[in-house]
Amino acid sequence: MKNRFFKKKYLALIIVLVVCFSCIKDTDFDQATPITLTPIMEVNLVEIQETSPSFLDSSGTEMPFISDLIVLDVLSSDFFNDNLIKAELVFQVTNSLNKAFQIKMDFYDLADMLQHSFSIDIDNSPSHTFLVTEHTEVFEAMSLAALKASIKLDITITLVSNATSSVLTDDSDGSIALTSKGIFYLEFTQ
């Protein structure tokens, strides 16, 4: 009986030693494959809705344009600038005014230098039905660098006269609405 206990003890010791010495191997963590994450973020950017009185001065005369300046806080973060690889800004404009418009988007940097610009032409709606215009501006390569440098967006809505449009008054029916979202493609590696 003592002999069996002694054999089991030695057998267990031999197994432990074999396992300990045979499983030890240097591990080189520098050979680990980096993990790359590529999330896509969708963010609402700008919403504007204007009626005819917005385009009139105090005497009731049409103004040639209106504009609004928006600070782009999300673009100024280091994380965003370091990891953004592509961006798409999607604009949807709904017009029910009997007036055509041109919407100009100007992106400026901290020194008020123009970085990027584009325009969207909007048809008039003689019957005051909702006319929808969509535009997608894609930012890659040089235009992406311009977007990353931008901290302000100046939106200018200019009235455009044509043969079927009317002069706007306080009583003109309809409105013009702009909604937009940004689709941001990020990539970071750990």
Q: What average pLDDT does the segment 92-97 reach?
A: 97
Stretch 83-88: mean pLDDT: 95
Q: According to CATH, what is the number of the domain 39-189?
A: 2.60.120.1540
Query: What percent of the chain is modeled with pLDDT above 90?
Result: 67
Pairing of strands 152-160, 100-108: antiparallel
What does the pLDDT read at residue 84? 94
Instruction: Dump pLDDT digits (tens) for 33-70.
Output: 788 888 999 999 899 999 999 999 999 999 999 999 99
Phi first, then psi, for residue 10 (nearest 5°) are: -70, -40
pLDDT over 70 percentage in the chain:
84
Q: What is the pLDDT of residue 164?
A: 84
Instruction: Of 2-6, 7-11, 154-158, give the range with the top mean pLDDT.
Output: 154-158
Query: Domain coordinates of the chain in residue numbers?
Result: 39-189
- pLDDT for residue 34: 80
Give the pair of three-digit tokens for residue 59.
């005497």
Query: pTM here?
Result: 0.80
Cβ neighbors of 153 (< 8 A, separation 6 or more) are 46, 69, 70, 72, 105, 106, 107, 108
Among 184, 101, 186, 105, which Cα is nearest to 152's?
Answer: 105
